[in-house]
A and B are shown apart, each in its own frame.
Chain A
């Protein structure tokens, strides 16, 4: 309708999500939190392990969401940041003997630096070009980790075994359960940080860049700084997720961090809803559980079943879980009125 809309020659790759719509209301958040706290008390250890992975991948998807949904940049290289985080934690724990909890902030900082540096050349690229560059990073990472040069530290192709931590202070809970609650605390902290980040000045700058880069720079936003910053923050959070992943799986090896991990994180973001942070956990659930379901339906055709399920999801809700949430909200609103 407006003239401006017609003059824009290139539509933004990511649709604009207003920042209020990127989060959940108080009530819903508390209910979610309650569920997450209670959930592991009634299930077996293996399921607790899966729930922990759900949170970890949720964090990684959240990180991608900040980058793509927040600043409009696209990345297929998240698996590389995840790998760097995982190896940082593993090496610090096994070679230096550092406490697992302390390795996480270091993994985060290392990855932040790595992401920030990678963001520099990526500045010149956008869209498919950026996808290709990040893709190159993702394919290179496992090979780099295998190099004989670093073998003393990384364990080469064999990888490293990581010791699983016990619950501290003699708390009467299994290792898996302790790790779950530990991960939950980290996840909540990062979630709150992310929500506040997007509501802050920096978050507004990210979104301005996402919606219209030229206009953003005309408003005085240092586009280069904020774009690289978004890369850094995203990589940092992914690194923490990687560190948690290494501790939970008790093992790091180059082939655990291939491009398929990056693709899965991307799918998680789409299924959860691009730019909607709470959707990250839904997306994470999709990439953890749906392949198992597909395998259960048909072993020989599990790939096809997975593809069909994915198609079903994007046909029904092209905007991901966010769309479901919006519809649900409207329904609840109507019920309240009646």
Chain B
């Protein structure tokens, strides 16, 4: 397997404050990787740095091409979809318009139309509400909309920032099932940041643990799940 995303010596800053201290990791094509860590460890920052939404140094390569100097929108156009924390819903627009926006950079009209139908298959609740203002959706529905919107890009890599945040456990389970399906069927590489370590480790092939902006542990999801420290700090047993 070849590395799709390759990150070397990534450092990120908020003003004077350094949030990441030289991260190195690689994502394999078609894999699901999870980034674990406590609040403030730098998980969100890592995702934001990949999309150039925070000032950073170091090398990020996507398919062998450096991302440095590219604007957020140009990075997205390469096929990297980012589901931000808080979901980023266009609240004043309808559900369907939100989905169309996800595909705004695509030129194949027919493909977009059929993809919207596919999303409605994945998430039937969105179909029921397709003319509704997206701001009126519940948190879980908005999270599904956010994932669906990201998929409309037909991304090759999807970055998910705490998709389980604020959702009921049952809904979270559904959501992760769908993520697994998307990974298998559409060959989308996934990098997911999660507080819900258990679910994330079930879904993932590979896992990294970060603490205060540094990777302190990495391995296959199984290894990490069975690691004593991880179990105590993140899985709670």
Interchain CB contact under 8 A, A6 and B88: yes
Given A1-B44, A1-B45, A6 and B14 contact (CB-CB distance below 8 Å): no
In the complex, what residues of A have CB within 8 A of residue B14's CB? 1
Q: Is A96 an interface residue (CB 8 A)?
A: no
Chain A positions 1-15 with a Cβ under 8 Å from a chain B Cβ: 1, 3, 5-7, 9
Interchain CB contact under 8 A, A3 and B45: no
| Nearest A residue to B166, CB-CB | A3
Complex formed: what's the CA distance from A3 to B166 in Å? 10
| Nearest A residue to B48, CB-CB | A1
| Nearest A residue to B88, CB-CB | A6
Complex formed: what's the CA distance from A1 to B165 in Å? 14
> How many chain A residues touch B (Cβ–Cβ < 8 Å)?
6
> How many chain B residues touch A (Cβ–Cβ < 8 Å)?
13
Complex formed: what's the CA distance from A6 to B53 in Å? 14
Given A1-B14, A1-B44, A1-B45, A6 and B84 contact (CB-CB distance below 8 Å): yes
CB distance from A327 to the nearest CB of B (A): 15
Chain B positions 81-108 with a Cβ under 8 Å from a chain A Cβ: 84-88, 91
Interchain CB contact under 8 A, B86 and A5: yes
Interchain CB contact under 8 A, A9 and B135: yes
In the complex, what residues of A have CB within 8 A of residue B44's CB? 1
Interchain CB contact under 8 A, A6 and B135: no
Complex formed: what's the CA distance from A1 to B46 in Å? 11
Interchain CB contact under 8 A, B165 and A3: yes
In the complex, what residues of B have CB within 8 A of residue A7's CB? 86
Complex formed: what's the CA distance from A5 to B85 in Å? 10
CB distance from A5 to the nearest CB of B (A): 7
In the complex, what residues of A have CB within 8 A of residue B87's CB? 6
Complex formed: what's the CA distance from A104 to B85 in Å? 54
Complex formed: what's the CA distance from A9 to B89 in Å? 10
Interchain CB contact under 8 A, A3 and B91: no
| Nearest A residue to B89, CB-CB | A9
In the complex, what residues of A have CB within 8 A of residue B45's CB? 1
How many A-B pairs have beta carbons closer than 8 Å: the answer is: 17
| Nearest A residue to B45, CB-CB | A1
Residues 129-169 of B, flagged 1 when their CB comes within 8 A of A and 0 if not, give 00000010000000000000000000000000010011000
The secondary-structure label for the interface of chain A is: helix
| Nearest B residue to A9, CB-CB | B91
In the complex, what residues of B have CB within 8 A of residue A5's CB? 86
Complex formed: what's the CA distance from A153 to B45 in Å? 66
Complex formed: what's the CA distance from A6 to B44 in Å? 12
Interchain CB contact under 8 A, A3 and B85: yes
In the complex, what residues of B have CB within 8 A of residue A9's CB? 91, 135
Residues 1-39 of A, flagged 1 when their CB comes within 8 A of B and 0 if not, give 101011101000000000000000000000000000000
Interchain CB contact under 8 A, B85 and A6: yes
CB distance from A18 to the nearest CB of B (A): 15
Complex formed: what's the CA distance from A7 to B14 in Å? 20
In the complex, what residues of A have CB within 8 A of residue B85's CB? 3, 6
Complex formed: what's the CA distance from A9 to B86 in Å? 10
Residues 226-237 of B, flagged 1 when their CB comes within 8 A of A and 0 if not, give 000000000000
Interchain CB contact under 8 A, A3 and B86: yes
Complex formed: what's the CA distance from A179 to B91 in Å? 56
In the complex, what residues of A have CB within 8 A of residue B84's CB? 6
In the complex, what residues of B have CB within 8 A of residue A1's CB? 14, 44-45
CB distance from A319 to the nearest CB of B (A): 15
In the complex, what residues of A have CB within 8 A of residue B135's CB? 9
Complex formed: what's the CA distance from A3 to B162 in Å? 10
| Nearest A residue to B86, CB-CB | A6
Complex formed: what's the CA distance from A150 to B44 in Å? 65
Chain B positions 17-59 with a Cβ under 8 Å from a chain A Cβ: 44-45
CB distance from B194 to the nearest CB of A (A): 14
In the complex, what residues of B have CB within 8 A of residue A3's CB? 85-86, 162, 165-166
Complex formed: what's the CA distance from A3 to B39 in Å? 11
In the complex, what residues of A have CB within 8 A of residue B86's CB? 3, 5-7
Chain B positions 166-208 with a Cβ under 8 Å from a chain A Cβ: 166
In the complex, what residues of A have CB within 8 A of residue B88's CB? 6
Interface residues in chain B, defined as those with a beta carbon under 8 Å from any beta carbon in chain A: 14, 44-45, 84-88, 91, 135, 162, 165-166
Interface residues in chain A, defined as those with a beta carbon under 8 Å from any beta carbon in chain B: 1, 3, 5-7, 9
Q: Can you list 17 residue pairs at the A/B interface with Cβ under 8 Å? A: A1-B14, A1-B44, A1-B45, A3-B85, A3-B86, A3-B162, A3-B165, A3-B166, A5-B86, A6-B84, A6-B85, A6-B86, A6-B87, A6-B88, A7-B86, A9-B91, A9-B135
Please provide the 8 A-B residue pairs with the shortest distance between their CB atoms, ordered closest to farther: A6-B86, A7-B86, A6-B85, A3-B86, A3-B85, A9-B91, A1-B44, A3-B165
9 more CB-based (< 8 A) A-B contacts, given A3-B86, A6-B84, A6-B85: A1-B14, A1-B44, A1-B45, A3-B85, A3-B165, A3-B166, A6-B86, A7-B86, A9-B91
